[in-house]
Structure 1
Amino acid sequence: MLRRAKITIIGAGNVGATCAHWCAAAELGDVCLLDIPQTEDMPAGKALDLMQASPIMGYDSNILGTTDYADTKDSDVIVVTAGIPRKPGMSRDDLLATNAKIVTSVGEQIKATSPNAVVIVVSNPLDAMVQQMWKVTGFEPSRVIGQAGVLDTARYRTFLAMELGVSIEDISALLMGGHGDTMVPIPSCTSVGGIPVTQLIDSARLDEIVDRTRKGGAEIVSLLKTGSAYYAPAAACAQMVEAVVKDKKRVIPVAAHCESEYGVGGYYVGVPVVMGAGGVEKIIELKLTDDETKAFQNSVDAVKSLVATMNDLLSA
C-alpha cells in the first residue's frame, strides 16, 4: 500500500519549524515536529499554525506537533536540529559536551522508534554531532548524514552571484571539509554558466568571498543580535530530505562517513556525494590539487581533534 513519506524533525525551534514549513509546502511528505516535554504544547501550536496555512498556500501535507517519540515511529527521514546555541560565558567545550549529550539521547530514541530511517544531523558543532549520532544509533554510515555542505555552498553561491550580478541559478560551486573556519573551496569545481570562476574573479577577491562564506553564520548572528540563521539552514535540510524521499540522486556536498575515501580513516567530513533513497549512495572522490589536498587534510585534522575532545568530555 502506497503512503506518503513520514518526515520527523526533532527540535521545534527556528530551524526545525522552518524546515517543517519548507517540507510541508513542497509536499515532501507528512511531517512530525517534536520537541522536549518541557516545551509543553509549543510544537503542537506551530504544527497547527502550519496546517492552517495549507488551504492558503495549497499543500496537503499533514503536520503533527508532539513531545512524544511514539508519534515519530517508523519515520522515513529524521532531521535532528536539537541542541543549544552557544551563550555568553559558555566555552566551546561546554557547548560541545552539552550538545553531545543531547544528541546521544536523541540517537537512542531514534534507534528505538525508527530503525530504518535516514538521519540528517544539523546540530552543532556539526562534524562531531553527526559522528556521535552514528555511534549511538549503530546505523549504516550511509544513513547518518550531516547537513553543512549544502548550506555552506549556498552561501558561497549567493556571495558569488552578488559579486558578479548574475542569477544564482548559473552558479555551480563546491566546498569540502569541516563546517566552519576550515572549510575548503574547490575553485576547479566552481563555475558561472559553465565559465570557471577564476576567469571572472581574481584570486584575492575570491579569497575574500570564501572568507565571508566561512563566517556566514557569524555574520547573520551579528546582524540579528539575538538568535542565529534559520531560513537557509532549514532550506538546506529540506533539499536533503527531498533527495531521500524522491530518490533524486542529487550530487551535493554533505558530511559523510569516509573510511578509505580521501584517506580520512573513519570520520565524518564534508565531501561531494550522490544522495538518494538510501542516504549517501556514493562518495565522489575528486582529484584535488596539492594546495586543495593540504587544506582538506588540515580540515580533517580539525574534525578529528573536535571528535577527540568530545569523546574525552563524554567519558569524563
Structure 2
Amino acid sequence: MTVFGVDAVPSAGAGELVVGAKDIVTPLARELARERGITIVVASAGPPSIPATANQSPPPAPAAVAPMFARPSSNGSHTAPPPLAPPAPALYRRGAPLHPAVAPAALHQPRIPRPELTSAAKSVGRVVVVGAGHVGMITAMKLAEANIIAEVVLVDIAEGLAAGIALDLTHSTALLGFDTTIRGVTSLAEAGPADYVVITAGRARQPGMSRTDLVEVNAGIVGALAREAAAISPQTVLLVVTNPLDEMTHHAWQASGLPAERVIGMAGVLDSSRFQALAGLATDSPASTVNALALGSHGDEMVIPLSQARVAGTAITQALPNAQVTALVDRARNSGAEIVGLLKSGSAFFAPGASAARMVLAMATDSDQILPATVRARGQYGITDGYVGLPARLGRNGLREIVEMPLTPDELTAVRTAATRISERVADLERVTAAS
C-alpha cells in the first residue's frame, strides 16, 4: 500500500495519476489533482508485478484502468467521477500548515488594501470620561456607539485599566458599526482638551451607605478633577455623576470656576428613567409610553410631579390607584439602594452610564432637548440660588434655560424643600472642606 500525497500530483504524466487498488490518496492530493485537471485512476487487478532485471523489460502497464470512484452505466461504460469532497475540516484546523501547491489562488495574489471606512460626520471633537469603573465604561461605550464624537477618552489613575477598557471597546467597532476613536490614559493632561468632561470617579456606595456618607471622600476627588479639567479645557462643559450628586455638582462648580451653565449634574434623567420603567411594568405598558420627570434631589427629596405624569397619554393617577403610584415613586427614589442591596458589592452602573451619555449627546447635537438635570436655579420655581434638579433645556454649551412647568402647590413646595435641603448639605460640605 502506498500513500499518495500532494507531492505525487505534479509528477503525474499524461493527465493521469495511476494508483493501486489498495493505495491511499490524501484529500489534499485529490483537491490538487482536481484543480490541475489530473484524473486519478485505479489500476485494474492483475497478476503480481515482477520486478525488472537488467536483462528483462518491465511488465507492460495494465490494459484496463477506470476513473477513481467511477460508476458503471447500464452499457458497462463508466460515467465521469462526481465532484471530489472537500478536504476534512481537521485539515483546516488553526495553525495547520497549508501546502503551497494547494493554497487558494487568492492567497498568491498581491494584497489589495481595503478601502478606508467612510466616517460619519462628527459634531464633537473629544469627550473625556473620568473614571473607568462600570459607570464610566458604560458612558464611554454609549458615547462611542453614537458615532458623532471623534474621540472618547477614558481616564483612570489605575495603570492599564482605562487603556484595557478602551482597547476592549475598540474591538467592538466592527460589531457595532462605529468608528469613534477610543483611548485610555491615566491623567487628564494625557487626555487633552475636551468639549465635555464627564466625572464619574469616586467611591461607590456599599450596602447600608447613603449618598451623603460619601461626601467627604468624594469631595476631594471631584474638586481636584474639576479644577484640573477647567485648567486644561477652559471652554468645557462638566457633567457630574459622582455621588452625592447634588452636593458634588455644586462643589465642582465652585472648584472649577466655570460658569454655572457649564457645570451640570446627572440625576433627573436617571431617576426619571427608573420611574418610567417601574410605571411601565405596573401598567403593562412600554416604558417609552410613560412620560414623567424626576426633580428635586437625587435622594430622599426626589420629586416626581404626578400632575405631569402620563401613561400612553392618560394621567398616571387615573391609570393606577393612588397607593400604587405612591409606592412606585418610593421605589424609584430608593432604586439605587435596592440595586446596591441586590449586588452586595458595588452599585448601579448601566442606567447611570446610559443617562450620562444621553445628556452629553443631547448637548453635543445641540438638540435643545428638555431633560431633568441638576442645575443652578436663579429665581426659577421661587428658588433664589443653588443647585437642584429642574427641567432644563440643554444645548451645545450646557444649560440653555430652566423650563418652568405648571406644578401643583404641593409639588412646588416639595421642589423648594429639596433645594433647601441641598443647600444645607452644601453648607456642611463647605465647612468640612474648609477645615481639612
Place the TM-score, normalised by the shorter chain, in its bin: over 0.9
The number of aligned residues is 314
TM-score (normalizing by structure 1) = 0.95
Query: Is 1:146 aligned with 2:265?
Result: yes
Contact 2:123–2:364, Cα closer than 8 Å, also in 1: no
Kindly provide the amino acid, as one letter, of the partner of residue 365 in structure 2: K
State the partner residue of 2:405.
286
Contact 1:96–1:310, Cα closer than 8 Å, also in 2: yes
Kindly provide the amino acid, as one letter, of the partner of residue 110 in structure 1: A
SS at match of 1:188: coil
Match of 1:32 among 138, 150, 153: 153
The Cα offsets for residues 197-235 of structure 1, whole Å up to 9 and x where unpaired, read as 111112111000000000010111111111110000000
Distance 1:199 1:132 in 2: 41
SS at match of 2:171: helix
Change in CA separation of 1:74 and 1:92 when aligned onto 2, cut-off 3 Å: closer
Deviation, 1:74, is 2.0
Distance 2:124 2:386 in 1: 33
SS at match of 1:44: helix
Query: Is 1:12 aligned with 2:12?
Result: no
Structure 1 residues without counterparts, runs of 5 or longer = none
Deviation, 1:129, is 0.3
State the partner residue of 1:260.
379
Distance 2:212 2:335 in 1: 22
Contact 1:5–1:245, Cα closer than 8 Å, also in 2: no
Distance 1:99 1:4 in 2: 29
State the partner residue of 1:249.
368
Kindly provide the amino acid, as one letter, of the partner of residue 153 in structure 2: C
SS at match of 1:270: strand
Change in CA separation of 1:28 and 1:165 when aligned onto 2, cut-off 3 Å: same
Deviation, 1:288, is 2.0
Structure 2 residues without counterparts, runs of 5 or longer = 1-120
State the partner residue of 2:165.
46
Contact 1:120–1:146, Cα closer than 8 Å, also in 2: yes
State the partner residue of 2:275.
156
Distance 2:325 2:311 in 1: 13
SS at match of 1:189: coil
Q: How does 1:169-208 map to 2 (within 5 A)?
A: 169-208=288-327
Kindly provide the amino acid, as one letter, of the partner of residue 300 in structure 1: A
Deviation, 1:181, is 1.2
Q: How does 1:222-233 map to 2 (within 5 A)?
A: 222-233=341-352
Kindly provide the amino acid, as one letter, of the partner of residue 228 in structure 2: Q
State the partner residue of 1:221.
340
Contact 1:86–1:95, Cα closer than 8 Å, also in 2: yes
State the partner residue of 2:178.
59
State the partner residue of 2:426.
307
State the partner residue of 1:22.
142
State the partner residue of 2:76.
none
Which structure has the bigger radius of gyration? 2
Distance 1:91 1:270 in 2: 19
Change in CA separation of 1:43 and 1:282 when aligned onto 2, cut-off 3 Å: same
Contact 1:32–1:71, Cα closer than 8 Å, also in 2: no
Change in CA separation of 1:243 and 1:90 when aligned onto 2, cut-off 3 Å: closer
Kindly provide the amino acid, as one letter, of the partner of residue 124 in structure 1: N
TM-score (normalizing by structure 2) = 0.69
**Which is bigger in relative contact order (C-alpha 8 A, separation at least 6)?**
1
Kindly provide the amino acid, as one letter, of the partner of residue 155 in structure 2: L
State the partner residue of 2:251.
132
Deviation, 1:192, is 1.4
Deviation, 1:167, is 1.1
Distance 2:381 2:195 in 1: 30
Change in CA separation of 1:91 and 1:120 when aligned onto 2, cut-off 3 Å: closer
Deviation, 1:308, is 1.0
Distance 1:120 1:197 in 2: 31
Kindly provide the amino acid, as one letter, of the partner of residue 145 in structure 1: I
State the partner residue of 1:269.
388
Give aligned-pair identity as a percent: 39
Deviating runs (4+, > 6 A) in structure 1? 88-93
Q: Which has the higher helix share?
A: 1
Query: Is 1:114 aligned with 2:233?
Result: yes
